[in-house]
Structure 1
Amino acid sequence: MATLHDVVFDCRHPASLARFWALALDGYDVAPYDDEELTRLRTLGVHDSEDDPSVLVGAPGRTPRLFFNRVPEPKTVKNRVHLDVRHPDRDAEVARLVAAGATEVGRHEDWVVMTDPEGNEFCVFPA
């Protein structure tokens, strides 16, 4: 039986979307760039981590990890899969995420539908 390992987002700019999700999720950070990874990127012609075509966000000892991969085409339709997050103060968390670049799309009795800076839908629930 399989276990969930990574969630992968196709996106326009992996570095900035990775920073948003690292800020959004408790304990998650953009993976650090060690010398080996920087050398690997240089062999691909990438000389600045801001232009990295695939950025990892994770939390020590936790899964899933999140990968953000650059794709050439724009997002054109509603997501078929989305993330749900929880916070004890749902409305304060919605305000924090809006300040970080998210957009509030709609409110329901228990949850708020939002989009990240590239338009990927997610929901915020109370804890």
Structure 2
Amino acid sequence: MVFTACAFKVLFLSLFFIAIASRPTGRPKVFNVRRHGAKSDGKTDNTNEFTDIWKRACARKSGSSKIYVPKGTFYLSGVEFVGPCQNPIEFVIDGTLLAPANPNDIKQDTWINFRYINNLFISGSGTLDGQGKQSWPLND
């Protein structure tokens, strides 16, 4: 009986340490969209920059990633963020993501789309501006 209790404790501790060791460690790698080429002028289409940043953050194998959108207005004509990703990703939006005023200018079925992603965390004090008031009369 003592052997069984000891074996159980050893097994439990082994599984615990394996679980701890397999988690991403350290601070996340931060991908600031402005530092990676995105323009916060509200006019320049940043779809390619956001897509490239997403691919790099998603493919990162050593630890989690954080995509940071600082204050400013970042125009996106339509972007799709596709997984699966290697590790958790946090998407922090402190600025404004701006959609086209005309829904026909969105280059895909949806303006912003996250697909096939586990461990995605979205936070921040920013805004997703779909320009509803301007686009409602144009949307069938």
Identify the structure with the greater strand proportion: 1
TM-score past 0.5 threshold: no
Identify the structure with the greater helix proportion: 2
Work out which of the two has the higher radius of gyration on C-alpha atoms and give 1 or 2: 2
- The TM-score range, normalised by the shorter chain, is under 0.3
